[in-house]
Amino acid sequence: MCAVRCDTVGVLVRQACRWCNATQLSPTRALHMTQHILTTILDRVRSLPKQRPVVLFDLDGTLYDNRPRTLRILHAFAAQLPREHRKDAEVIRGLAARDLLYRLDETLSPRGVSHTVIEQAQQAWRTRFFTDAACADDVPVAGSVEFVRTCWDEGATVVYLTGRDTPGMLLGTTRTLRDDGFPMAVPRVELVMKPTFEENDTLFKQRLLDLLDALGVMIASFDNEPANCNLFHHRWPESESVFLDTQKAPGAPPLAPAVHSIPTFEIG
């Protein structure tokens, strides 16, 4: 079992253990790597108080585990399926957050759920997932609140740069960030969201780079998509680009060698 969360039981334990297995790092080594990266970043923030240090965070899959959001949508969908699909409904109602892969068909198809029901589930998911109400089900990734708060306490400008869109998710996003204890509505905090749902996430982040530069000196960036991690590393090679190894889109490019990888923000 992974030392990152070795004394508790839950989704994030399994997530971290899978990470240790996948990276073939010993739990102790994985923990030390995470400690080293996060401590190095905090030390750099402390060393540059007059140069406006900036730390950038993605939300979904980085600060937040949004699988509970998907799970609630799926369970509600299954509850209203007609009797002829009761077996599919039982399978879906039996899912836990740890069972969810990136795409619904990857999760449901191997469990024998019919193609028709998968298509209906995908439609229900698309309707509800990107909404203010649904993101209240998200859970902060282990250690994320504490780390972001420490960055801010030590003088960093905290930027939440997310692929969520302002029309659909601004209200829910600000509410959950506030309720979960992340820095919000104080100086040196920026929440940057897509103006439209349709815009591509990585292209959106790419076109924001100049504006982010104006905030100060980029110290570190955190994202769960390799394409975004690589983008930030190439733009700010002196900063630390950190990949959260949680979930990523299928077909993601390989990480640039200089990008760090951590399973959570927990450092013991």
Residue placing its CB nearer to Mg ion in the complex, 35 or 166: 166
Q: How far apart are CA 19 and CA 245, in angstroms?
A: 7
Binding mask 53-82 for Mg ion (x = CB under 5 A): -----x-xx---------------------
Q: What residues from 148 to 207 belong to the interface with Mg ion (CB under 5 A)? A: none
Q: How far apart are CA 139 and CA 70, in angstroms?
A: 12
CA 164, CA 41: separation in Å to the nearest integer? 26
Q: How far is residue 235's CA from residue 213's CA, in Å, rounded to a whole number?
A: 10
**Residue nearer to Mg ion on the CB measure, 58 or 240:** 58
What are the tokens at 62? 């980085």
Stretch that binds Mg ion, among 10-18, 120-128, 223-231, 256-264 (CB under 5 A): 223-231
- How many residues make up the chain in this entry? 268
- When the beta carbons of 157 and 224 are compared against Mg ion, the nearer one is 224
Report how many residues bind Mg ion under the rule CB under 5 A: 4
Least Å from the CB of residue 177 to Mg ion = 15
- What lies within 8 Å, CB to CB, of 59 at 6+ separation is 160, 162, 164, 173
224 is an interface residue for Mg ion by CB under 5 A: yes
* Residue among 78 and 161 whose Cβ is closer to Mg ion: 161
Give SS3 for 153. Answer: helix
From 51-59, 81-89, 107-115, 134-142, give the range in contact with Mg ion by CB under 5 A: 51-59
